Amino acid sequence: MQREIQLICGAVRIPDLPGFLKTINKIASENEVIVQGLNTDLIAGERHLHFAVGKALKAVATGTNVAKDPGIEIMRYAAGERQIERSFSIGLHEGENNVVFVLLGTMDKLLLAFSELRKVLEEKPCSELLAYSDSKRQGILSLFRITDAEIEASGEEHIPELVIERVALADFLK
């Protein structure tokens, strides 16, 4: 069985986070897929997300994963964190969210989960929501602890690469 990866992006208003996560988990379990929601305001571009997902799946495949749940492992890498607890900062929160849901499963099951997820969000192009922009800058610098010295040394335009570097180092940084 070939596991596929799909993304669906959009905006969602979450009045009650535990209730919303319960709905997402229900969609995932009923359709036998993995669904992980991430805050796109803290994603520094499509490369960042794809690199993090790739690292997480490789960790799961080789048994070097920290989290038992592959979705949490994706979140951990996306946040560039070794510690699971700290990786939740890149997750969803109560209020308005720009979100990307990463889905893993067989194509037939993914399509079913996809149509269910479409009911809980206002779909928007992933290319728009994932792209790095100035409006994301402060949140990303804070989350990934990127210093002024690093920006000065590498240049403002290299902030997304600095984030990818954090993802790459997630296994080594304490």
> For the chain, what is the HEC assignment?
CCCEEEEEEEEEEECCHHHHHHHHHHHHHHCCCEEEEEEHHHCCCHHHHHHHHHHHHHHHHHCCCCCCCHHHHHHHHHCCCCCHHHHHHHCCCCEEEEEEEEEEECHHHHHHHHHHHCCCCEECCHHHHHCCCHHHHHHHHHHCCCCHHHHHHHCHHHHHHHHHHHHHCCCCCC
Question: Chain-wide mean pLDDT for the chain?
Answer: 94
The answer on pLDDT for 173 being more than 90 is: no
Stretch 128-133: mean pLDDT: 96
The pLDDT confidence band at residue 164, using thresholds 50, 70 and 90, is very high
The answer on pLDDT for 120 being more than 60 is: yes
The answer on pLDDT for 84 being more than 60 is: yes
pLDDT at 161: 96
The fold of 4-169 is PF0523-like (3.30.2380)
pLDDT at 155: 94
- Give 123's strand partners: 10
The answer on pLDDT for 150 being more than 70 is: yes
pTM for the model stands at: 0.94
pLDDT at 172: 78
The answer on pLDDT for 1 being more than 80 is: no
